């Protein structure tokens, strides 16, 4: 893991977007795994700016959504779908054929996870995963536990995740999430882990020890040989 510290969020975001654009110029049809939340907002904004000048650069880009809340309407401002549509999918003109997304309202969620896994296997592995660090050390909805799931699955959310800022205004916080699994993420060709925001000091400190624990899923990124960890001081 290569760790780079930043005093300025805009500088961090610019560095992250530059990493993606460099890869996109080499492989125009790369598969990008997109996280939501506050950490990657600036990065996505930079990609929008580049699209305005060079839309052809994004004409073959494929995107897969990292996770989604179960039970939350897809057009709810707190949903991962709404977030990505507003900041990535629509601004970069990503067509339906180039977008892999969980449907949290599918009649059978196990079948939905299996369908996403099949699409990932057909289009993958992921070329670049953009990940944020959860306050409890999760990545995606891979929550701290004695065991971690390797592939797309339904996850029972911890109290910490249920209190996430994205669903702070929801009357009843979702208890479950759909997410890509740890093996799916660790098979990414490149991973960009962004550590910013409040309340993450404890998992951040653990990650910096270089130790690995299922109770801090993000620590498993030490097993990957191409992780860029961007940390806001």
| Residue 164 appears among annotated catalytic residues | no
Q: Averaged over 133-152, what is the pLDDT?
A: 97
For residue 71, the tally of other CB atoms under 10 A from its CB is 16
Q: Averaged over 148-153, what is the pLDDT?
A: 98
Find the catalytic residue in 67, 68, 112, 155.
67
| Residue 46 appears among annotated catalytic residues | no
Mean pLDDT of the chain: 95
Show the domains of the chain with their CATH numbers.
Answer: 9-125+133-189 (3.40.50.1360)
Find the catalytic residue in 68, 112, 138, 142.
138
User: Which helix or strand (DSSP H or E) is residue 176 part of?
Assistant: strand 176-179
CA distance 233 to 222: 20
Q: What is the pTM of this model?
A: 0.95
Find the catalytic residue in 143, 149, 153, 164.
143
Is the bond preceding 11 in cis, omega lying within 30 degrees of 0?
A: no
| Residue 56 appears among annotated catalytic residues | no
Find the catalytic residue in 46, 136, 142, 149.
136
Task: State residue 171's pLDDT score.
Answer: 61
Task: State residue 151's pLDDT score.
Answer: 98
Task: State residue 168's pLDDT score.
Answer: 63
| Residue 82 appears among annotated catalytic residues | no
């Amino acid at each position: 893991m290569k760790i780079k510290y930043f005093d300025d969020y805009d500088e961090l975001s610019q560095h992250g977007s530059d990493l993606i654009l460099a890869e996109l110029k080499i492989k125009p049809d790369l598969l990008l795994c997109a996280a939501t939340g506050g950490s990657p907002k600036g990065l996505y904004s930079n990609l929008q700016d580049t699209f305005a000048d060079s839309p052809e650069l994004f004409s073959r880009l494929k995107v897969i959504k990292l996770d989604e809340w179960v039970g939350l309407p897809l057009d709810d401002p707190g949903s991962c779908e709404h977030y990505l549509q507003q900041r990535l999918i629509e601004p970069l003109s990503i067509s339906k054929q180039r977008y892999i997304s969980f449907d949290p309202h599918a009649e059978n969620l196990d079948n939905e996870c299996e369908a996403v896994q099949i699409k990932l296997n057909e289009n993958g592995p992921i070329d670049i995963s953009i990940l944020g660090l959860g306050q409890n050390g999760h990545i995606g909805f891979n929550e701290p536990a004695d065991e971690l799931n390797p592939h797309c699955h339904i996850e029972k959310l911890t109290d910490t995740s249920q209190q996430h800022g994205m669903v702070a205004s929801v009357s009843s916080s979702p208890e479950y999430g759909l997410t890509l699994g740890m093996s799916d993420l660790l098979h990414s060709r490149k991973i960009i882990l962004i550590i910013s925001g409040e309340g993450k000091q404890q998992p951040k400190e653990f990650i910096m020890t270089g130790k690995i624990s299922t109770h801090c899923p993000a620590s498993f990124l030490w097993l990957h040989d191409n992780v860029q960890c961007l940390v806001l001081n």
